[in-house]
Amino acid sequence: VDATYPAVKVPQQFVQNGQIVLNILPSAIGNLQLGNDLVTFNARFGGQPFALSIPVKAVLAIYARENGAGTVFTLEEDEEDDQDFVSDAAPEDLPPEPPKPGRGSHLKVVK
């Protein structure tokens, strides 16, 4: 998590180089709320409870500690470009509609 991102609430004493790594295992956190723009949950740091609030855009990466597999997110330079992209989508860029079901199978039951 980018701890310098606006509206990030994390315990600053655990921030290193402007970032903090969080363990979000269900056994390590409580009251997890995942929204489109914000992630909130309670966790303990050094035995002290803390309510965390993290804008989704502040998340730098998600990975598994066991094998290091995961995803690194890049910072979007201009969010307005995303909206233009969606509104400018041509019909051929949209996924095709699923085929409509036919009258029935052409197969017959043979005994």
Tokens found for residue 21 = 């790594």
Q: Is residue 50 part of a domain?
A: yes
Instruction: Find the CATH number of the domain harbouring 4.
Output: 2.30.30.220
Q: How confident is the model at residue 15 (pLDDT cuts 50, 70, 90)?
A: very high
Q: Is residue 97 part of a domain?
A: no
Q: Is residue 52 part of a domain?
A: yes
pLDDT in tens, 33-92: 999 999 999 999 888 999 999 999 999 998 888 888 889 988 665 454 444 444 444 555
| pTM for the predicted model, two decimal places | 0.63
| Spatial CA neighbour of 33 closest among 11, 55, 50 | 55
CA-angle at 50, arms to 49 and 55, nearest 5°: 155
Q: Is residue 81 part of a domain?
A: no
- The number of distinct structural domains making up the chain is 1
Q: Is residue 45 part of a domain?
A: yes
Q: Is residue 110 part of a domain?
A: no
Q: Is residue 22 part of a domain?
A: yes
Domain of residue 19, residue span: 1-63
Instruction: Determine the Cα–Cα distance for residues 14 and 50; give it in Å rounded to an integer.
Output: 12
